[in-house]
Amino acid sequence: MTITVGDRLPEATFMTMTDEGPKKIITSEVFAGQKVVLFAVPGAFTPTCHAKHLPGFIHLADEIKAKGVDRIACVAVNDVFVLGAWAKQLGAGDIQFLSDGRGIFTRAIGMETDPPERPYGPRSERYAMIVEDGTVTALFVEPKPGQAIESSADNVLAAL
């Protein structure tokens, strides 16, 4: 079942890169008592994610946070080292990267995709959501692959 507005996020464990190396972090540490913009990408360094989706959140991070957002996080079914390298390359210091390397969180919220025309295995749909204290208050899911319109930083900012 796909997550919808009003649902609570399931408990899951992510990996995030820190200055000391990879660290486990659970859902409640990311979302409890906070207003969070969470967006998901099918893959780090992939064309739409790298050129269109993530850059918008980097560029608008200050404006998004000025709307009362405590944290901006990006989740992907990639390993923590790939996400760490991607964040570093794009200078995404204001965004927390959450590695869902085995896709457990992604599957639990019904956002897993594995289209046969993309030979890299199960990944996440592209989406963005606003989460308040662990509850989804807005959800933006891309209707077609290769787009970053519905889930764009501009669209999320307008909804805040």
Nearest to 155 by CA among 124, 135, 123, 127: 127
Positions marked catalytic: 49
Between CA 120 and CA 83 the distance in angstroms is 16
CA 139 vs CA 4, 34, 102, 121, 126: distances in Å: 7, 17, 23, 24, 11
3-state helix, strand, coil in the chain (%, to 5): 30, 30, 40
Backbone φ, ψ for residue 104 (5° rounding): -65, -50
DSSP-assigned letter for residue 10: P
Residue 122 near residue 112, CB atoms below 8 Å: yes
